[in-house]
Structure 1
Amino acid sequence: MSVWTVAGYKPYELGIFKQDDPAVFFIKKAIENELRRLLDEGMDWLLISGQLGVECWAAEVLFELKEEFPAVKLAVLTPFLQQNENWNENNKSYYEMILARADFVDSVSKEPYKSPAQFRNKNQLFLRKADGLLAVYDEEHPGSPQYLWDMARSFQQDHPLDVRQVTFYDLQFVAEEEQLKETDWE
């Protein structure tokens, strides 16, 4: 069984404040390209913690890819109970849609948020359970994915873990590629 986890920026870290922001299309396209590679290589499960942004966009992409790859499954393991407690109604309903379509949902900590240690525990569990990490992360632009990224790079020194990265350069390339497809050359 091949399990991969996805990590990346939250929407506000990318300057995205609406689901229909054009940047979301390009980010999802980059994620789709990578998930297709992983599925072709035999990925069975995608593991996310349900954070808004890259993780939930990856879940949406996976739901679309299930038409071609019906056996792939999504697991959502939140770092703590009631992760969405302080989110606005739109984000809550979007999150609930992701959870409703997931194949497995649970929480690492069986308590509501208590401390940053709950995030660290979630990251450690993800690295132990996954065969690989796909990170939408650029070292030149630190943000929330930096913690898991650094932990994965350290974990990788003593454990087999495939780490793949989508940088801002990669996202720019996808955007240019998609825009070229839209250009009418006649």
Structure 2
Amino acid sequence: MYVKRLVITGYRSYELGIFQENDPKIAIIKKVLTSQIKQFIEEGYQWFLIGGALGVEIWAGQVLVELKKEYAEVNLGIVFPYQDFGIKWNEKNKNQLADLLRDADFVDSVSHSTYQNKTQFQNHTRFLLSHSDGCFLIYDEEFAGKCQSFFEDARVYKESQNYFIAQITMDDLQNSLLDNGF
């Protein structure tokens, strides 16, 4: 049986103007993530890969940990671009990541050295693309963010591979906020 794998990425929390753990926008984003990830599970995706970045990736990881209680076949993989990823984060953010690491089914880094240069991020993107069947991004081309290069590389990769790209745009997020009374 073939196991379907999906990369989840998107905006960093600060790119969305989110600076506190209790920001109500996080609940809406998690609701959007939950709905979409459930759909992917129904479509047969079993492994969900994140890079561990603050924002969409951490929130997706938290959503997946909750969904694993309902869907036994779901697995969370955290693949960092380099060793010691997040080492310079504040304690609150380090604790969020540590909680995810405890519940992940697979944890590793593409580069087994500490941060050297941006090539490690390029290798990370290539690794994630070549070890997945598709990606899901909360990202909008009109609002550039850190995951722009991943999105562009995924579109190029899709031209030569059978690769799936799903996207939630800023309009989609805005509509979710409006639907929820914000």
Alignment correspondent of 1:106? 108
Alignment correspondent of 2:178? 176
1:120 to 102, 119, 122: 122
Q: CA deviation at 1:76?
A: 0.4
Alignment correspondent of 1:56? 58
Q: Which amino acid aligns with 1:83?
A: F
Structure 2 distance, partners of 1:95, 1:62, is 14
Structure 2 distance, partners of 1:179, 1:147, is 33
Other structure's SS at 1:79 match: strand
Structure 1 distance, partners of 2:64, 2:180, is 20
Other structure's SS at 2:76 match: strand
Matches within 5 A, 1:22-171: 22-171=24-173
Task: State TM-score, norm by structure 1.
Answer: 0.94
Structure 2 distance, partners of 1:54, 1:75, is 15
Which structure would you say has the larger Rg? 1
Structure 2 distance, partners of 1:121, 1:101, is 25
Q: Which amino acid aligns with 1:148?
A: F
2:16 to 14, 17, 36: 14
Other structure's SS at 1:3 match: strand
Q: CA deviation at 1:33?
A: 1.3
Q: Summarize deviations over 1:3-29 as a string: whole Å, max 9, x none.
A: 000010111111110111011111111
Q: Summarize deviations over 1:15-66 as a string: whole Å, max 9, x none.
A: 1101110111111111111101100001110001111110010011111111
Q: Which amino acid aligns with 1:131?
A: D
Structure 1 distance, partners of 2:11, 2:29, is 11
Structure 2: which 5+ residue stretches go unaligned?
none
Runs of 4+ in 1 over 6 A off after TM superposition: none
Q: Percent identity of the aligned residues? A: 38
Q: Which amino acid aligns with 2:12?
A: K
Structure 1: which 5+ residue stretches go unaligned?
181-186
Alignment correspondent of 1:183? none
Q: CA deviation at 1:84?
A: 1.2
Alignment correspondent of 1:5? 7
Q: CA deviation at 1:70?
A: 1.4
